[in-house]
Amino acid sequence: MNKRFIYLLLVTLGIISYIFSLFSPLFSINEFYIFKDTLTIYSVMLSLFHGGEWLLFLAIFIFALLLPSVKYILLLIYGILFNSYKPSNRIICLLEAVSKWAMLDVFIIAILIASIKLKTLAAAQTHYGLYLFTLSVLIAIACTYFYKYAFSETE
């Protein structure tokens, strides 16, 4: 197998896990042992939008939806153009910049889970969506480094 095939396979797996993670349950919140709410990234964004929490909605929209999507689109385009296009330092810097900002969504989810765990009357239980989301972040990081180091070498 060549580098391009492995890279495109990784990017495809990352995109699939990312899309599924947007709509899969991340965690459930049990309050007072009576009320249970299962949250997805999509449902959190919708509730913030409808609740008028524009700043939080915008932050989650940018860092959990827009930037990771842009990163995967860039990774896919560069993987397709690999044979006719040698990566430049500018492209690698752009991917690294988007990667660093796209990681902020992991921080947001970690803070959200920590704040729920700190409440004495609420308990949070993680679900497979959180693992899909983590997998997509790790694959995106791997693809960025794969692109930077494997494609910058001559074949």
Q: Is residue 153 part of a domain?
A: no
Residue range 74-124, pLDDT digits in tens: 888 877 776 555 656 666 677 777 777 766 666 666 656 555 555 555 677
Q: What is the CATH number of the domain that holds 138?
A: 1.20.140.150
Q: Is residue 155 part of a domain?
A: no
Q: Are strands 35-39 and 122-126 parallel, antiparallel or unpaired?
A: unpaired
* Confidence at residue 155, expressed as pLDDT on a 0 to 100 scale: 46
- Quote the number of domains for the chain: 1
Q: Pick the residue with more confidence: 131 or 111?
A: 131
Q: Is 105 exposed, middle or buried (0-12, 13-18, 19+ CB in 10 A)?
A: buried
